[in-house]
Structure 1
Amino acid sequence: MNASWVKLLPGFIRARLESRHGLQAIIGNTGWLFADKILRMGAGLIVSVWIARYLGPEQYGLWNFAIAFAALFGAFAALGLDNVVVRELVKNPARQNELLGSAFALKLAASLCMLIMAIAAISIARSGETFTLWLVAISAAGYVFLSINVIDFYFQAKVQSKFTVIAVNGAFAIATVAKIALLLIEAPLIAFVWAGSVETALSAIFLLAAYRINRQDIRKWRFRAEVAVELLKDGWPLILSGLAIMIYMRIDQIMIGQMLGDKEVGLFSAAARISEVWYFIPVAVVSSVFPSVIAAKQLEEALYLRRLQRLYNLMVGISLAIAIPTTIFSGWIINLLFGANYIQAAGTLSIHIWGGIFVFLWVACGQWYLNENLQRIAFLMALLGILVKLGLNYVMIPAYGIEGAAMATVISLVVATYIFDFIHRKTRGMFWMKTRSIFFILDYKSWRNLC
């Protein structure tokens, strides 16, 4: 039976989708993910901009420094289990309770360790700055509640992301109203940090409710040591890879804060906020589309690679459609959103936005690495990106300021997510596929084949 929304489509599109129930499920699931992210992107960006204007570059920079610092340790708390657990749930649905129970116990223990490590590290990095320590501690505490997000793995495996969307957006809506109230009463910075952690706690509560509504019971979860070891064995390269990615994404703000100051962190964060707000697109698309790519591998290798190539082409096409106008109108965008106090971030935005092409490809290719059991190579790729970025930041931030940090971001992304594939023989095929996707915009037939 066709999904109810299919009949609302134009006839020529409906004809392509009727009776293709697998494709309808993918599109429907992607639609929910997009609705989630668009709502959060729109409302979240508006409130974030309002807060940035209210706090000013320096306090906004300190807030982002604290978030970035906590996020470095938060990546460890994820334990690289996300895709591994989803994969195992798809393969072995009968093991649901032991997989979710073991994953939850692992993530909870890791998040508590992470909280202690984050507090210890900030005490050393910014010795004597008690206020900064509190900001980091509160931000890091939110990651403890993310342990319950293993419920989302269940919904991903069932291609029922709408339940996660409803739960997370319920918490987001409450937190957004709270932040607006804080703005209206002119609350201090620390109140906004607390609001962020409360949002995470509410998300956990609502996910539990959604799980219960689906006639599932967390009391049936069971921790099994052998399952935990199995998950960690598959996930440990992704732990390192996830940690490497988070270091890669956040090290700019930390290095800028230590080398230039909190105001410069605020300016850079304004530009990065606009660039990174689009990163939900590849995550939403890939999480819904990639199961069909995996299924194609069971049928025919050539079909598998064709679908993967189309995915890469789509990623590049979307990212270019974002990067070109953002570069042209960067000054106008910064002034409109953040105001004159942040206008120095315009040049940074026009550079930073081009990293999106390789982030989009990275997200798509990351699933290929997992499906081909190349997690160790994925970690080496991420490690290379960090080393290149650290080296470039060390040289370019003192020389070119926050624009130097943006240039370091783009160059290191090119090296890690594109050139690296050519270096390693097992991934060289991906290099040529990515090359075709980068130049596919010149080929009209490639555009037609996306449909």
Structure 2
Amino acid sequence: MIGKLSTFLNKNSGFTRYLKNTSWLMGEKVLRLLIALSVGVWVTRYLGPEQFGILSYAQSFVGIFSALSSLGLNDIIIRELVKSEDRKELILGSSFGLQTLGSSVIMLILIVNIYYNDNEPLTNKIIIILGLLTFVNSFNVIASYFHSQVKSRFYAMAGLVGVFISALLKVYLILGGYSLIYFVYVLAFDVIFLCSGLVWFYMKSGQSLFAWKFSWPMAKNLLKDAWPLILSGIIVSIYMKIDQVMIKEYLGNSEVGQYSAAVRLSEAWYFIPTIICSSLFPAIINAKLKDDTLYMERLQKLYNLMVVLGAVIIVPVLLFSDWMINILYGEAFQRSAGVLNIHILGSVFVFLGVANQKWFISENFQAYNIICLGIGMLANIALNILMIPKMGIMGAAYATLVSQFMASVLAPVLFTKTRNSFYMMLKALFFVQVFKKGKLV
């Protein structure tokens, strides 16, 4: 097997190049995960449920509107740069201008909300700081440029250095007994350092920000292609963040802290299906062009793999959740264990959903993807309204689990064109043909 893989890589230098590019992204994500499970957990434990709840609420509230900043342009930028690299200054300049405009809209929304809400002054201050950071994030168009050039190592290197410095600063703040707002400043430093690193690598490679040009015709063309991604991004943002916002409104900051501590452990693994599916997606598209039977076989194997990976994560968490929460967060967060047990079950649906989105793209069914996500979002909001007042944070966990199943697995059965993916996911969930003679097939 190893010999075959080696021969394949030698004969496919282009594939090797993309594999190395992906490995940089994977390495950066793994390191971030390790730091999150060490320093990040220490920060959570240090802040306690109340203070951590304030931070989590502010992040979730701003996160709901984050899609208005990126405008779903990242993948569109990559596609356009690959097609027309000679127009990169026009593409990057127009994208940067659009994202800056989107950040301005976000700030307007946040300022109006702060004027009318009854949050604590500290909460509103954190919301404003996080909102301002969306302007800095506009420089992430440079990351799209590096991805288009298969040079993701520059993005990863900037991120790796930044995350190390950020971790050291957080340890210093903990040992020094600093208050919550200083940890917010470190979050701001994280974003600013990453974007500064991208700018530095961009200029070092011989490029210039001053060569960027904004063009309304280019901007309109980008938005024309990106609007489905903008809509789906808004839906996903609401879908993923609304529970913590609603918990704060119903139950208060401390309950948000208990819930968020569990959610961060559960969601820490979500980068795995994203990277794996992105890496395998070209092979699936290639199979679709050659043979429909091979195409369906590879899709089924991808769904099978997602379920197996989900199970590998879920089982240990269910067995050791109480111990994990006590060791990582301490007794103050003990009620987070019950939330973790429920929330982690949704991982398998999230993993399948990521794979299914690739199928939507390969079949050009993006509109159906938006509808399915919308069904999940509406279900999540409705279930949270019904269950949080009665069951507290456990109700929010159950609402998330059910809505993830509806959006990722159940919704495709509603439409004739997407029903086949529902059957494939169902086969994977019930391990039908997942294992054959003890081997994953």
User: Scaled by the length of structure 2, what TM-score is found?
Assistant: 0.94
Moved over 4 A (4+): 9-13, 446-450
Q: Distance in 1 between matches of 2:320 and 2:104?
A: 44
Q: Distance in 1 between matches of 2:159 and 2:134?
A: 15
List aligned pairs for 1:27-426, cutoff 5 A.
27-126=19-118, 129-426=120-417
Q: Distance in 2 between matches of 1:446 and 1:98?
A: 55
* Contact 1:77 1:143 (8 Å CA) reproduced: yes
Q: Distance in 2 between matches of 1:317 and 1:94?
A: 44
Q: 1:317 to 1:449 in 2, by over 3 A?
A: closer
* Contact 2:306 2:352 (8 Å CA) reproduced: yes
Q: Distance in 1 between matches of 2:346 and 2:9?
A: 34
Q: 1:446 to 1:90 in 2, by over 3 A?
A: farther
* Contact 1:271 1:346 (8 Å CA) reproduced: yes
* Contact 2:428 2:434 (8 Å CA) reproduced: no
Q: Return 294-303 or 133-142, whichever deviates more.
A: 294-303
Q: 1:103 to 1:297 in 2, by over 3 A?
A: farther
Deviation for aligned residue 1:160: 2.6
Deviation for aligned residue 1:68: 0.6
Residue identity in the other structure for 2:190: E
Q: 1:211 to 1:439 in 2, by over 3 A?
A: farther
Q: 1:97 to 1:309 in 2, by over 3 A?
A: farther
Q: Distance in 2 between matches of 1:45 and 1:52?
A: 10
Deviation for aligned residue 1:447: 8.0
List aligned pairs for 1:429-448, cutoff 5 A.
429-440=420-431, 443-445=434-436, 448=439
Deviations, residues 34-57 of structure 1 (Å, cap 9, x unaligned):
210111111123122111111111
Q: Percent identity?
A: 39
Q: In the alignment, what sits opposite 1:4?
A: none
Deviations, residues 388-447 of structure 1 (Å, cap 9, x unaligned):
011111111111111111111010011111111110222112212222332347632498
Q: 1:25 to 1:317 in 2, by over 3 A?
A: farther
Deviation for aligned residue 1:317: 1.6
Q: 1:299 to 1:170 in 2, by over 3 A?
A: same
Q: In the alignment, what sits opposite 2:11?
A: 19
Deviations, residues 95-134 of structure 1 (Å, cap 9, x unaligned):
333222211111111112212212322432335x222110
* Contact 1:252 1:405 (8 Å CA) reproduced: yes
Q: Which runs of 5+ in 2 are unaligned?
A: none
Q: Distance in 2 between matches of 1:158 and 1:279?
A: 25
Deviation for aligned residue 1:449: 6.3
* Contact 2:169 2:186 (8 Å CA) reproduced: yes
Deviations, residues 1-26 of structure 1 (Å, cap 9, x unaligned):
xxxxxxxx965653554423344334
* Contact 2:133 2:188 (8 Å CA) reproduced: yes
Q: 1:147 to 1:258 in 2, by over 3 A?
A: same
* Contact 1:155 1:164 (8 Å CA) reproduced: yes
Q: Distance in 2 between matches of 1:15 and 1:447?
A: 27
Deviation for aligned residue 1:276: 0.5
Q: Distance in 2 between matches of 1:358 and 1:261?
A: 29
Residue identity in the other structure for 2:122: F
Q: Distance in 2 between matches of 1:22 and 1:124?
A: 55
Q: Distance in 2 between matches of 1:373 and 1:89?
A: 21
Q: Distance in 2 between matches of 1:320 and 1:74?
A: 31
Q: Distance in 2 between matches of 1:295 and 1:210?
A: 33
Deviation for aligned residue 1:308: 3.0
Q: Distance in 2 between matches of 1:313 and 1:305?
A: 12
Q: Which runs of 5+ in 1 are unaligned?
A: 1-8
Residue identity in the other structure for 1:123: Y
